[in-house]
Structure 1
Amino acid sequence: MPKTWNNLLNIGKYVLKEEKKRNNTNLIAFNGYFNKFETGSSSLFEFIYSYRNLLDDTLPSLDSQTAIDAVEMIKRLKDEISSDDIYLMSLSQILNNVYDGNVLFFKFYYMPVNNDIIDFAILPGEKEGISAADIWSYNIGINNAISEERKKRSAIALSYINSKQIQRKMTMEKKFYSAITSLYDEKEVCEILNCSLFKQIQPIVLSSIINNNYIEYSEKVYQYFYEYMFENETSAKKTLKRIVDINKIYTITLDTQDTSIGLIFFITIIVITFIIIMSFFIFLINSILDYFDFIPIDFWILIVVGTLMVLVVGILNIGKVTAMKCYFKQMILSLGYLLNVIPILYKFITEYLYKSKFALWMNSHFSHRYLFLLGCISVNLIFSFCKFFFPYDIETLIINDGQNFQICKMNSIYGKIFVFLNYIYIFIVILICFLLIIKERKVEKHHFIIGNLFPIIYLDSFFLIIYYIISLLHIYQFFQCFILHESILILFAISNYSVLLYVTNIIIKNNNEYKHKQKTTINLVKLKFETNYVVTTADLDDSNNSFNTEFTDSHINTFSNK
């Protein structure tokens, strides 16, 4: 009997060749047993299990090279010593050919057969000593709804059926194999059964490995396998990848085994964060922020902190989805946005509504602006804190012929209310900013503030709304969904900080122009004053006049050379 699949292939090729010389074209060298309605998917896993390296190894990973080699060998056996029709034969068709003496090797489940032409053996493996056998069993349970007395009687009956004595009797009379392995050490049992064969079996119980719906899973596995084996639509590697994707839950990580997207975006976020922090420190060191007198420096710092918080959400999107991550992502994103907008809202209120009691109160003491900031943030934090008592659920999206992934889902009605109130609050802040911009857009003295701060409000609001809309939509392409979320957050940070740099440039430019005009005006005033001094001393004597004229000329020349 062949010990390896290569050995079986070589024997099959040789026998078929010799039988053809005798005009026997009906011989079946190997059936494979990949019938759809019986054991197609289990035969696939059984074959892959026979390709493991060591005896005690588990089922090889389906996306491993070992599994690819096994699947390619299945197809090679079909192409070289079998056919599509033979691989798809039912057990009854194969047995008919067996009894007619037209089968060399055939694979099927063990059953008591009184026929001397059949010699049972374990399946071959990729290497000698390695085999596989898919084990099916029946489960017997006791109804939990019955009385305690009936439960006890049922337990006694089950104990009797599973006792070694009854198992020995069934094994010897019906020639069925028992799960009590010690029976195969008994001489009287081995006189009836092939105990040596059973001891060599290397079982795999697929139903215990696959935790999900086994029947539904098996149907999908066979569908993908069939397309590869009998329709030649794809490769072994792609077929196994599709099978893996049936149950696999994809997450974006820094590992590049599935994709390098996570690592690319992580590095991108770190680089952008580093650039923002370093450039901002340069501003502080060079006192560039001193030019930002129309918004307090500490509020400019808050805008930068808010921008960095939005980038933190991008990092939280990497890794396994958890309820805590869902909670913190929403809280940090809304807080980061508010830290970008509230300092500008503060400027709008104190500039446009400067006669109002609220504006006068904020301008009366510098600490009042912190109270205003704290009040605005507190509303958001209250909503976020309330959501903590109604945690997010993790929903798994099953994608047919795609990547399954998980999303945050708020199923609690109270949690949904607080999420909605949080959205409404942010919308109100946006609305107030835009109403103030519309109200004051025609006032000429406010053109500079509106022209330079409006892009920040507009871009931040635009990207935030788009991000929330995409989060509410079900996008069933996992990688595209991740890229879209990350890109929006990165664009939010880049556009926001770019506008700040632009405003910085405009302010510095305007300040330099103002200083240049101021210096020119001072110089002209000096020149005019000294000229007047010469005219007013005309009545002095000639010697004094000569001295003053020389002094004035030299002074004017000195000034003009500066």
Structure 2
Amino acid sequence: MILNKIIFYIIPLLYIMISKCVTIDAIAFTYDVSGEVYSFIVNEFNKYSKENNLNVTLKLNLITPSNSTGDINDYGSMVEQLLTKKTTKYDLYFYDNIYSTRFGQHFVSLDKILDKEHINLYNKDVISLSCTYNGEYVGLPITLDYSVLYSNLLYLERYNKTVPVTWDELIETGKYIMEEEKKLNNNDLIIYNGAFGETEVGTCSLYEFIYSFRNKRESPFPELTDEVSIKALEKINEIKNEISSEAHFKLPYFIFAQKLYQEPSSFVFLKYWHTQVFNPMIKISPLPGIREGISGSTIGGYNLAISKYSASKKRSAVVNAFKYITSKDLQRKLVIEKQVFSLINSLYDEKEVCEKVDCDFYKSIQLIPRPTTVTDDYSTYSEQFRNKIYEYLFGEKSAYQVLSELENITKIYYITLFSDSSIGLIFFLIICISSFFMIASLTLLFIKKLELHFKFLSKDSWFLVIFGIVFFLFTSFLELGKKSEFKCQIRPVMLSLGFTLIYIPILYKLIINVPIEDTHFIITWIKNHRFWFNYIFIMSDAIICIIFLNVPYDVKEILVHEGKNYEVCSLNSNFGTFILLVILFIKIITLLCLLFLLFIEWNISSTIYDVKLVTTSLFVVLLVSSLVIIVDKFLKLNYLDTYIIRSSMYILLGLSNYILLYGIRILFLLNNNEEDEMVVRSVNLGKFSSNDKQISSNNSSDNTTSKGSSSYIKMLNYHFKN
């Protein structure tokens, strides 16, 4: 009976305790079979959780070479597969810091869940490049690898030399020792390995070497085609030719660990990741630089991130675990007990830390993250980066040539007013001069004796037409400079408004000019309300365009193999596509109405030349629109050709419409002969001829005979009358 009561009370209590305990699952990879650092992190958190009654347990799935046949690349692919499937299996991911861009979309933004003070603990110059995705922090560094120089004191003391702090010192010291050792038949001695192999390590070696040539410690990574970068590559080549060799440069990286631990007498200087070495004859120091005080070490290591797909009920516990693992307290323990390099710089000012580690040494390391943010596919870029530079180091190309070609891999090219090619400035001047002339020509409307030449439209309508044409021309300005979301949004808007400003006043004129004797009440209303007719169309178009300005656009990079990359606009929004189709639909309806009215009024003597000129301008609009679609969708052009063709189309659209609709009237003025005057009078007479009226009357009488075919016959009669 007593036992039953105990069971009755204990079992529910145990159930409650178990149900309240949250298990957080994490995954990581390490080449260290023992997983010492990760085990330490897990144990410390679980200890912290127990002491603070958090009821949270951290479990880690640690992938190592002993339980997996894969390497870091395979682990990256596995993580990507898990994240792509949106699995809830893991809450925390330890991932290689080169993959923040690759995985960032699947991780929780730390800016939204952490205090700024927490993130600001870390070296901002480094984490802003290795822990961000689209400008937001998605991870924080847990472990950090970095390159250092291992100097063999056996040789340095033998020849009374010191550890080099510049590349020139390394060459000088290495050359002296090499020549002296050759006298002792020590011909296999490695003076400097370089570590310029065919793997990711080669990229790290190249990148940090270029970084070590910057002018000042606080200077950023130099531009690839800068003189600094060229000199850096030339110095690498000098090291290869003077104290090393292509064979030594390309040695597999695992050989260096073997040399370091098992064959220390086989090298003088060795570049390798920082690790503990217990040989007193091996001195660890920062890598040399262009001058004393300047160095560079590429970083490796792992960040910690929170999966977006972690169960929401566990989110609070996961965030607390993340905060503790990335806290200053745990980082301090990692530095002291596991000699992990932390990016919390303030730790190396603490007496407790400096009693256990060489703080001055850690402060002297000048870190540079790899260029993981320059492209979405860093692995491919890294391979291209080193292989391209190797075409100089181990090939026939010049340093400037390979750096220029390398720059083209990620650089986005575009035309500006001051580009090497003057085409941008030429087009700019053409548009400005043309626009000025067009707007200035509007003054002709106010010369009384010239009114007859512009009688087809009212003065305010001509203003709308000319400004619509200028809109077409100004669209070309959007092709200058770097693409942006706003430029992508405003281009269709300017073309749409330009079309409306040009052709709505013409549509009004054609509607009121329809040769019908018994005028329909709608036509009568339109004729008496020209302002409202234009206003309704223009404002409707403007409202739709304003809505379209809120549609998101993507700026898509077009990567050209062995060429120059450029950007294009990409509309990936269903709502945006719908709005764009609405705009196109309205334009097509307007176009069909114009064509229908132009067909009917084709031979009306009062507007016969105007009708034909308007028809030609519409033909140009259709032609240019078709060509733009062909260029956008079907032709693969370089950035310069794309700019020239697009800008030429907009200029053709503007100039042709100006000449056909307005400029030809100025030509009549310039010719100023009697025959042209007669043409102008016939073009702008504004009244039906007696023949027009007669046929209209005949058409009216024909209405009584056949209702079924009368509309069709009348339309043909209107078109073919002469």
Check if 1:110 corresponds to 2:274. yes
Give the drift of 1:308.
Answer: 0.7
Match of 1:4 among 166, 184, 188: 166
Which segment drifts farther, 203-212 or 300-309? 203-212
User: Per the alignment, in what secondary structure is the counterpart of residue 106 of structure 1?
Assistant: strand
Change (3 A) 1:466 1:94: same
Give the drift of 1:351.
Answer: 4.4
Check if 1:425 corresponds to 2:593. no
Partner of 1:459: 620
Partner of 1:387: 548
Partner of 2:503: 341
CA distance in 2, matches of 1:104, 1:197: 21
Structure 1: which amino acid aligns with 2:299? I
Give the drift of 1:13.
Answer: 4.1
Match of 2:557 among 386, 397, 415: 397
Structure 2: which amino acid aligns with 1:56? E
Q: Unmatched 5+ residue regions in structure 2?
A: 1-162, 680-722
Report the TM-score, using the length of structure 1 for normalisation. 0.75
Partner of 1:222: 386
8 Å CA contact retained: 1:133, 1:203 = yes
Partner of 2:663: 501
Larger Rg: 1
Which segment drifts farther, 155-164 or 238-247? 155-164
| CA deviation profile, 1:375-413 (whole Å, cap 9, x unmatched) | 44355335434435x513223225154555544443333
8 Å CA contact retained: 1:321, 1:394 = no
Give the drift of 1:126.
Answer: 0.9
Which segment drifts farther, 301-310 or 349-358? 349-358
Give the drift of 1:485.
Answer: 1.7
Give the drift of 1:451.
Answer: 4.3
Which segment drifts farther, 426-435 or 483-492? 426-435
CA distance in 2, matches of 1:77, 1:48: 14
Which segment drifts farther, 314-323 or 34-43? 314-323
Structure 2: which amino acid aligns with 1:137? G
Give the drift of 1:307.
Answer: 0.9
Check if 1:84 corresponds to 2:251. no
User: Per the alignment, in what secondary structure is the counterpart of residue 59 of structure 1?
Assistant: coil
Match of 2:292 among 100, 121, 128: 128
CA distance in 1, matches of 2:387, 2:478: 37
CA distance in 1, matches of 2:603, 2:466: 29
Partner of 1:200: 364
Check if 1:93 corresponds to 2:255. yes
Give the drift of 1:41.
Answer: 1.3
Which segment drifts farther, 158-167 or 113-122? 158-167
User: Per the alignment, in what secondary structure is the counterpart of residue 165 of structure 2?
Assistant: coil
Match of 1:310 among 472, 477, 489: 472
Partner of 2:42: none
Structure 2: which amino acid aligns with 1:392? P
Report the TM-score, using the length of structure 2 for normalisation. 0.60
8 Å CA contact retained: 2:558, 2:565 = yes
Q: How does 1:73-472 map to 2 (within 5 A)?
A: 73-96=235-258, 99=263, 101-140=265-304, 145=311, 146=314, 162=330, 164=332, 167-171=335-339, 180-182=347-349, 189=356, 197-206=361-370, 214-232=378-396, 234-249=397-412, 252-254=415-417, 256=419, 261-281=423-443, 284=446, 288-351=450-513, 353-355=515-517, 357=519, 361=523, 367-388=528-549, 391-401=551-561, 403-438=564-599, 441=602, 447-468=608-629, 470-471=631-632
Give the drift of 1:38.
Answer: 4.1
Change (3 A) 1:267 1:13: farther
Give the drift of 1:335.
Answer: 1.9
Structure 2: which amino acid aligns with 1:237? Y
Partner of 2:62: none
Give the drift of 1:184.
Answer: 8.2
8 Å CA contact retained: 2:256, 2:272 = no
- Structure with more contact order per residue of length (Cα contacts < 8 Å, sep ≥ 6): 2
Check if 1:486 corresponds to 2:486. no
8 Å CA contact retained: 1:396, 1:404 = no
User: Per the alignment, in what secondary structure is the counterpart of residue 291 of structure 2?
Assistant: coil
Change (3 A) 1:89 1:302: same
Change (3 A) 1:254 1:380: same
8 Å CA contact retained: 1:350, 1:359 = no
User: Per the alignment, in what secondary structure is the counterpart of residue 107 of structure 1?
Assistant: strand
| CA deviation profile, 1:458-505 (whole Å, cap 9, x unmatched) | 223322343355455685633432332211111212222233323432
8 Å CA contact retained: 1:32, 1:107 = yes
Partner of 2:10: none
Give the drift of 1:125.
Answer: 0.9
CA distance in 2, matches of 1:277, 1:46: 57
Give the drift of 1:311.
Answer: 1.7
CA distance in 2, matches of 1:186, 1:341: 77
Give the drift of 1:40.
Answer: 1.3
Higher fraction of helix = 1
Change (3 A) 1:47 1:373: same
Change (3 A) 1:373 1:30: same
Partner of 1:521: none
Check if 1:512 corresponds to 2:674. yes
Change (3 A) 1:102 1:372: same
Give the drift of 1:23.
Answer: 5.5
Give the drift of 1:301.
Answer: 2.9
User: Per the alignment, in what secondary structure is the counterpart of residue 137 of structure 1?
Assistant: strand
Q: Unmatched 5+ residue regions in structure 1?
A: 518-562
8 Å CA contact retained: 2:375, 2:410 = no
Q: How does 1:35-54 map to 2 (within 5 A)?
A: 35-54=197-216
8 Å CA contact retained: 1:349, 1:359 = no
Give the drift of 1:142.
Answer: 7.2
| CA deviation profile, 1:205-248 (whole Å, cap 9, x unmatched) | 3378769554444334233333443344x443343345445555
Identity of counterpart residues, as a percentage? 29
8 Å CA contact retained: 1:33, 1:43 = yes
8 Å CA contact retained: 2:485, 2:555 = no
CA distance in 2, matches of 1:319, 1:214: 26
CA distance in 1, matches of 2:557, 2:381: 16
CA distance in 1, matches of 2:621, 2:320: 69
8 Å CA contact retained: 1:353, 1:359 = no
CA distance in 1, matches of 2:605, 2:677: 22
CA distance in 2, matches of 1:356, 1:86: 98
Give the drift of 1:28.
Answer: 2.9
CA distance in 2, matches of 1:437, 1:154: 72
CA distance in 1, matches of 2:353, 2:600: 98
